[in-house]
Each structure stands twice: as C-alpha cells, then as structure tokens.
Amino acid sequence: MKPRDRLRIAMQKSGRLTEPALDLLNRCGLTFRQSRDKLFCFGEGEPVDLLLVRDDDIPGLIAQGVCDLGIVGRNVLSEYQYTAGQGGPELAEWRPLGFGRCRLSIAVPQEMAYDEAAQLQGRRIATSYPGLLGQWLRERGLDAGVVTLAGSVEIAPRLGTADAICDLVQSGGTLVANQLREVEVLLESEAVLAGPQSLPTDERGDMIDLLLKRLDGVIQVRESRLLLLQPSRHALDAVIRLLPGGPQPTLLPVAGQPDQLMLQALCAGEVSWRQLEEIKKAGAREMFVLPVEKMLA
Ligand code: PRT
Ligand code: ZN
C-alpha cells in the first residue's frame, strides 16, 4: 500500500460513540471539514483525517493499515481479536477514553436458578460476541451452545431460541424489561483508542505521539479541578492533609496579611461541598474550585 503522509483515524459514523469521540478529538485541537458523503472528513489544521464507519469495521481497518488509529469499544476490539482478526496482526489498546462505558454480561431468565457458571453447561447462550463468550466458556471448561445473533439478543430466551444471553449492559434496564438478570460479567468495556502494536516510524508516528500527549492532557484535565484557597499559616498542615489527591500545592504570600497564605492545588477528580466545608473548618477561607481547560505536563 502507498505510504500516506496524513494520519487517518477511524470512528463510528453514527451511534453512541460518535459525539463523544468527535468532542474528544476537538478538545485535542483537531477539527474536520465534513465531506459530502460524510464518510471521509478532512482535517483542517493538523494532518489528521477521519474515516466514519460502522464500529464493527474499525479493528479490521486498522489491521489492514487503511487507518492508523480507531476509536472503538473495547468489546468490539476484543471480539475482533478472537474472531475475524485471528492470525492477523495484534492490535493494541493505546488509551482508555472514559466514555461508552458498559459491560459484557451473561444474563439468565429471572426464574432460572443460578449459583455458579457450571449451571451453564449444556445450555444455549445467544450473543453477538461469540469470540469473547467462547473464550470465557473454554477458560472454565464449559461446553455450552453459542447461538450467534446480530441483534435483539435479549428476546432470544422468550422466543425459545436460547436459555441465556450474553450481551452489553449499561443501566440494566433492557435486562429488567425482558425479565432477565445479570449473573456474570465477562468484560468491563469503554471506548478506547486502538492502533497497531507499534507506531509507524515515519511522520505519522510523530503525529500519533503528539496526539497521545494531547489526549493524556485532555483526559487528565477532564477529571481535574484547580483548588484555590487562603489558609492561615498556623492551619497550613491541617489544611494540606485534607486536600484531595494531586501534586504538591503551590503557596504564595498574601499582600498585607502576613498570617495568611494563598494555596493553589491541582486535584484529581471532583471536590465535594463536604470536603470544602472540612477544609474551611481546618482554617481556610476564600475557596474556589475551578475547572481546568488545558494542561501540558
Ligand atoms: O452502526 P454501528 O454498528 O456502528 O453501531 P452499533 O449499533 O453496533 O453500536 P452502538 O452505537 O449501539 O454502540 C457502540 C458502542 O457503545 C458499543 O460497542 C459499546 O462499546 C458502547 N455501549 C455503551 C453500548 C452500550 N453502552 C449499550 N447500552 N452499546 C450497546 N448498548 C446496548 C446493549 O446492546 C443493549 O441492547 O444497550 C442495551 C443495554 O442498555 P441498558 O442501559 O438497558 O443496560
Ligand atoms: Zn456495530
């Protein structure tokens, strides 16, 4: 294949991952001009283009070298490795992206007794994930019938085509609506940045490197807050002990108030009202919690 000098990222054309994936790329400073057929989006600033496809096609496109990276659910990536991708190049999960969270679980009809996996022996399980389910059964030495369905897996037990199902669960609402209950979790999933095991050695490798750094910054700030407050000098130790996790805080003098300090701390994750109230009680005032927009370590 002719070497490309622009990076190409595959993402879902239309579905649950589309909006958050595009938002994430935008936050990394990547913007795109959408083409008329909406399959290919040309990158405006950086040499990075998008290919909009069905999520199931993403691992294959990376394996074939049509795309350099892809944003896809771990569930789809892992399933590909066990099925269509077997014998092909190994794909790597470069970064977990923190959206599209769900789990691949086995669920049984509510009235079916279930205490342990051995009870699935000889049963029929409907799924769109035969690779992952097959592997899970093999690891436990279980022999169960895997009924592969493209969709509407949850109605299989009612139709009598399966005794149990193995499908994605998020809130659990679909299971409840179909009188099923979750009994085993096979995989915790979220959207991931997928790519080949090793980076290309040309400019695309450099571009991926840059993108990964920006991505790390974006993911980190998404979960970061900047905490500003004024502790009195004598309460400083007590206040610092109560700060949520993060790097060492910065301390500055406050003009005209020798007993006061200005403290600035980066916190990983939310800072709750309760935490603020406790810090205040320990001897701080003028407290602000600010979102962080960009960060480059
Ligand atoms: O057209 P294309 O093939 O691209 O889209 P798709 O229909 O295959 O995918 P889509 O958009 O439904 O999901 C894309 C990805 O989102 C999945 O591969 C998962 O990684 C992730 N994701 C997160 C989910 C869910 N949550 C989810 N709840 N994918 C599917 N579901 C379905 C699930 O299959 C079940 O039918 O939602 C139902 C369960 O939801 P709850 O909330 O009722 O438990
Ligand atoms: Zn799909």
Mean pLDDT of 210-236: 92
295: which residues sit within 8 A by CB, 6+ positions away? 217, 220, 221, 224
Q: Assess contact for 164 and 106: CB atoms under 8 A.
A: yes
pLDDT of 53-72, one tens digit each? 999 999 999 999 999 999 99
Average pLDDT over all residues of the chain:
94
Question: Which ligand has an atom closest to residue 169 CA?
Answer: 1
**For the chain, percent of residues with pLDDT exceeding 90:** 84
- For Cα atoms 2, 38, 294, give the angle at the middle one, nearest 5 degrees: 85
Which residue's CA lies nearest to atom 9 of ligand 1? Answer: 15
d(CA 168, CA 101): 10
Q: What kind of architecture, by CATH, is found in domain 3-99+191-221? A: 3-Layer(aba) Sandwich (3.40)
CATH class assigned to 224-291: alpha beta
pLDDT digits (tens, 9 = 90+) for 176-202: 999 999 999 999 999 999 999 988 888
Surface-to-core class of residue 220, CB atoms within 10 Å of its CB (0-12 exposed, 13-18 middle, 19+ buried): middle
Please indicate whether residue 178, judged by its CB atom, sits closer than 6 Å to ligand 1. Answer: no
Which pLDDT belongs to residue 247? 75
Whether 1 has a pLDDT exceeding 60, the answer reads no
Would you say the CB of residue 182 lies under 6 angstroms from ligand 1? Answer: no
Same fold flag, 3-99+191-221 and 102-189: yes
Q: What pLDDT score was predicted for residue 296?
A: 77
In this prediction, residue 16 has a pLDDT band, given cuts at 50, 70 and 90, of very high
* Cα–Cα distance for residue pair 43/30, rounded to 1 Å: 7
Query: If you take atom 14 of ligand 1, which residue's CA is the nearest one?
Result: 16
Q: How much distance in Å is there from the Cα of 156 to the middle of ligand 1?
A: 17
- For residue range 138-179, what is the model confidence (pLDDT) as tens digits? 999 999 999 999 999 999 999 999 999 999 999 999 999 999
Q: What is the dihedral of CA 167, 169, 173, 179, to 10 degrees?
A: 40
pLDDT of residue 294: 82
Domain residue spans in the chain? Answer: 3-99+191-221, 102-189, 224-291
Does domain 102-189 match CATH 3.40.190.10? yes
Please give the distance, rounded to the nearest whole angstrom, from the Cα atom of residue 30 to the centre of ligand 1: 26
Tokens describing residue 179: 């009188």
- Position 4 scores a pLDDT of 79
**What pLDDT was estimated at residue 202?**
87
Atom of ligand 1 nearest to the CA of 170: 44
